[in-house]
Structure 1
Amino acid sequence: MRILAIGDIVGKPGREYVYQNLGRIRSKYNIDFVIANGENSAATNGITPIIADELVNAGADVITMGNHTFGTKSAAQALEENPRLIRPLNYPPEFEGSGYIIQDLGYAKVAVINLIGRVNMSPANCPFRAVENLLKRIESDIIVVDMHAETTSERLAMGNFLDGKVQVVFGTHTHVQTADEHILPGGTGYISDLGMTGIMDSILGVKKEIILNYYYNAGKHYRFEKEENGDVWFNGCVFEIDNKTKSVVDIERLRFSRI
C-alpha cells in the first residue's frame, strides 16, 4: 500500500492545484490512499463544506485539520456533514466532528488520527494521552497520525511515543518541508513536516510584503492575506507499507511545481 500525505493546502491556488492534478499524482506514484491537510484551504483560514467536498471529489480520502479548524463560520457544518473531514482528537469532546476516522478498503482498514500540539499553540488537551487512550479502543490494520504542531521537538516526541504502535506519523503546520524522513527503530515512518501546497513565492503562503511589514514594524497589526499569484509548489510525502507485514518499507518526499 502506498499512502500519500499532502502538506497544508493554502488558499485557492493550493486547492485548485490539488483539484487539477491529484488524479495524475495518484496515478504516477501508484497511490492507494490520500490524506490532505486542509486547515488553510479557505480564503482566510479553515475550510468550508464546499471545499471539503471538492477535495474529496478530487481524490482526497481523508482531510485533516489543525489550529485553524474553526477559521470559517461554516467549519462546524463541514465537520458535521463530511465524515472524511476530521479535526484534532485532543480538542474538547463537545467540539463538532471527530478526531479520527477508520476506512475499510476491503483488503485493509486504515485509521487516520489528527492531533494538535500544545507548545506555542492554543490550549488543548494532552495529545499524548488522547492518542494513547484512542489506540486502546480502535482496531485497524494501518494507523496514520497527523501531528499538527509548532515545534519539531514536539512532533518528533510524538513520533517516538508512537513508534511501533502506528505505521506513520507526519507533521504539519509550519509549511516548510523537512528533510528528516526516516523509519524509526520500531518501524514507524516519520517526517517532521510535509511542507505546504501553495504559492512558493510567498512567506508560508501569505503575501511577502505583509509579513515583512509585520516583522519590521513589530507590534503593529496587519491583516494576513494569502498570496494568489505565482507558481504553486506541491509538497507531500509517500509512505510505502508492506501489505503482509504492515510495516513501512520506503518513504519518498515530493516537492514539485509541475507534474
Structure 2
Amino acid sequence: MRILLVGDVVGRPGRRALHLYLEENRNKFDVCIANGENAAGGFGLTEKIVNKLLSYGVNVITGGNHTFDKKEIYQFIDKYPILRPANYPEGAPGRGFLTFDFEGTKISVINLMGRVFMECLDNPFRKFDEIYESNEADIVIVDFHGEASSEKQAFGFYVDGKATAVFGTHTHVQTSDLRRLPSGTLYITDAGMCGALNSVIGIEPKEGIERFVKQLPVRFKVPEKAELIQFCGVLFEVDDRFRVVRYERIYEIYERREDGSYTRRESPI
C-alpha cells in the first residue's frame, strides 16, 4: 500500500498545486492525507473547499491551530473526514483521530498539536498513548502540528515502533530529515507546504517583511495569482506486515502560463 502525506495546503495557490500533483500522479498512491487548516485564504476551512479537497483525491484532512478560524466549520466538521488536534480539551467540536478501512487494512490517522510556542493544549504525548492503547489499527499515521523541531523529534522517538509514520506540519518549510527511526517509524520534522513558492510560508512577502520590521499587526494575504507554486509531501509504501519499505520526499514546482494554466518545472530535489 502506498500512502501520500501532504504538507499544509495554503490558500488558492496551495489548492492548485495539490490538484495538479494529485491529478498527474493518481496511480502512485492509494491513500492521501493532507493538512488543510490553511486552505481557505490561509486561515481555516470552508465546506466548499473541503468538498474540493476530497474531490481531488484527499481521504483525510488534518488540522492544527487554524482549524477553527472559520466559525462555519462548527456546522460541518462532523460531516466529513476532517480532524482537529486530538489534544484539544474535552468538549471541543470535531474529532482528533479517525480509523477507516481500505481494502481490508485498518488505517488510523491521529492529529496532535505541540505545546512549545503554541496554544497550551493537553499533553500530546499522553493523548497519543490514550488513543493508541484503545486502537487496533494496522497502520497508524500521526500529523504532529508543532512549532518546535525538538518537540516534534522527541515525539517521533516517543512513538517509534508504535506509529507507522509521523509527519510534522505547521512550519511550512520541508525538512531534509525523512528517515526510519530505530524501531521502524517513518519520520519527518516538517512535510512542507503547498502554496506560493515566492512567499513567506505562503503569504505575500511584503506583509511578512512588514510584520518583522515594524512589529505591528499586519493582515496577511495569500498571493492568489502566484507565478510559481509548490507541492510538498511524503510518499511511502508499506508491505504485507505493515512495515515501511520505501519512502521519498516530494517537492514539485509548477509555473503559470500566459493562459493561466500551470506546467511542471524540474523538481529542485
Identify unmatched segments of 5+ residues in structure 2. Answer: 255-263, 265-269
Residue 214 of structure 1: how far off its partner (Å)? 1.0
Alignment of 1:2-17 (within 5 A): 2-17=2-17
Given that residues 85 and 113 in structure 2 are in contact (C-alpha distance below 8 angstroms), is that contact kept between their aligned partners in structure 1?
yes
Alignment of 1:98-177 (within 5 A): 98-177=95-174
1:62 counterpart letter in structure 2:
V
The CA deviation string for residues 34-76 of structure 1, in whole angstroms up to 9 with x for no partner, is 0000010001401111111111111001000001010112122
Residue 96 of structure 1: how far off its partner (Å)? 1.1
Distance 1:58 1:8 in 2: 15
Given that residues 64 and 86 in structure 1 are in contact (C-alpha distance below 8 angstroms), is that contact kept between their aligned partners in structure 2?
yes
* 2:57 corresponds to: 59
Residue 17 of structure 1: how far off its partner (Å)? 2.7
1:96 counterpart letter in structure 2:
P
The CA deviation string for residues 101-133 of structure 1, in whole angstroms up to 9 with x for no partner, is 111012311110000000000121000000101
Alignment of 1:16-35 (within 5 A): 16-27=16-27, 30-35=28-33
The CA deviation string for residues 191-214 of structure 1, in whole angstroms up to 9 with x for no partner, is 000000000001001100111111
Q: 2:251 pairs with 234, 252, 255, which one?
A: 255
Give 3-state SS (helix, strand or coil) of 2:25's partner. helix
* 1:42 corresponds to: 40
Q: How many residues align?
A: 254
Residue 20 of structure 1: how far off its partner (Å)? 4.0
Give 3-state SS (helix, strand or coil) of 1:80's partner. coil
TM-score normalised according to structure 2 size: 0.92
Given that residues 49 and 77 in structure 1 are in contact (C-alpha distance below 8 angstroms), is that contact kept between their aligned partners in structure 2?
no
Distance 1:235 1:78 in 2: 27
For the aligned residue pairs, the C-alpha RMSD in angstroms reads 1.1
Distance 2:220 2:99 in 1: 35
Distance 2:251 2:45 in 1: 23
Given that residues 175 and 189 in structure 2 are in contact (C-alpha distance below 8 angstroms), is that contact kept between their aligned partners in structure 1?
yes
Q: 1:85 pairs with 59, 63, 82, which one?
A: 82
Alignment of 1:237-256 (within 5 A): 237-242=234-239, 244-256=240-252
Give 3-state SS (helix, strand or coil) of 2:184's partner. coil
* 1:223 corresponds to: 219
Distance 2:46 2:197 in 1: 24
Gap change, CA 1:256 and 1:20, over 3 Å in 2: closer
Distance 2:238 2:230 in 1: 26
Percent identity between the two aligned chains: 41
Distance 1:210 1:186 in 2: 43
